[in-house]
Amino acid sequence: MKLYRFLTEADTSAFCHKVSMALDAGWELYGDPTYAFDATRGEMRCGQAVVKEVEGTYAPDMKLGEY
């Protein structure tokens, strides 16, 4: 099955570290990154979709960060 995650974080090095950790765990970039202003938090936010092919069957209660 193919899993999908959308990673988000403030526009700091924390976002780069989050994406780098996912890549190191075997996730692959999916599409272009996004960048938008979050008026509620008053900060710029980054987002990046990642996908990963794994064995098994999808279930809504899966903890995607554990793959």
Task: Indicate if the pLDDT at residue 24 is higher than 90.
Answer: yes
Phi, psi of 66 (to 5 degrees): -90, 0
Structurally, the chain folds into a number of domains equal to: 1
Q: Is residue 33 part of a domain?
A: yes
Structure tokens at 32: 């272009």
- Token pair 């990963």 is at which residue? 52
Q: Is the pLDDT of residue 45 over 90?
A: yes
63 domain-assigned:
no
Domain encompassing residue 6: 2-55
Q: Is residue 14 included in any domain, yes or no?
A: yes
Q: Is residue 9 part of a domain?
A: yes
H helix runs in the chain, sequence order: 13-24
Query: Is 60 within a domain?
Result: no
Place of tokens 């996912």: 22
**Which pLDDT score, from 0 to 100, does residue 65 have?**
87
**Is residue 6, in this structure, part of any structural domain at all?**
yes
Does residue 64 sit within a domain?
no
Indicate the Cα dihedral angle 14, 15, 16, 18, nearest 10°: 80
What's the pTM?
0.88
